Structure 1
Amino acid sequence: MDFISTRGQAAPQSFADVLLAGPASDGGLFLPSAWPVLEKAEIAALAQRSYGEAAFAILSRFTDGSFSPDALRADIEAAYAGFETPAVAPLVPLGQGLHLLELFHGPTLAFKDVAMQLLGRMFARALAERGRR
């Protein structure tokens, strides 16, 4: 999948290139050139999967060509292995139709763990595959 700049002047980039580059060279932000479509049945099926399986099902649509499926699965598994609960971010019912999404089960007990534990691994993999640190 290619990612394009919101300003339209930067060359299209792969997921790994965008991950390492940050903002586009024209000052824009990178977005997918086409958004993957999930059918209602696919979305419903995600609710029955583990957090890691759901993350793979979604992320693999964006990372295609940048990371092998096995590498992406390994990064996802390692990223969330240190969480206190396999649910990673459980949705806890509070009653009367209210729910709370718990984002504090990661190693630093902060919401940022949900994204950064995986992002750091993907960043390191993209660098390593380019022979960089």
Structure 2
Amino acid sequence: MHFRNSGLINIHIPADADMGRESLRKSYEDARVFFSKYYPKYGQSDMLCDSWLLSPVLAKLLPESSNIIRFQKAFELIRVDETNDSAIRWVYGRTDLPTHELQEHTSLQKKIKASLLEGGGIGAALGILKEDPWKH
């Protein structure tokens, strides 16, 4: 993997983030403006994200129209960690329950729970934001 320059920007996704295409586009553009103005060395740096939201498993569970899948398509994966279980904490809010007791209030919760009950995991991945993340 070749990075554009030595600086890297880590993308953080708040729990209450709007994952809609326009909100994400604005966030990435705002970050470029901010870093260019206040930290010029990082103005054109690659942006990385390490998250369960980038897990390739989700592409098998969710429809193409899902905001999570649209988010994933903006990244080129560098590394996948199949053992990462952070999705459980973020999707269910806790990690202390047996799988069969996990709540099923949302379609994402239902699909992840079904996958877990079948012996699958979710994992996580590290990805680099594509130069033109909207071209896919």
Q: TM-score when scaled to structure 1?
A: 0.23
Which structure shows the higher strand fraction? 2
Q: TM-score when scaled to structure 2?
A: 0.23
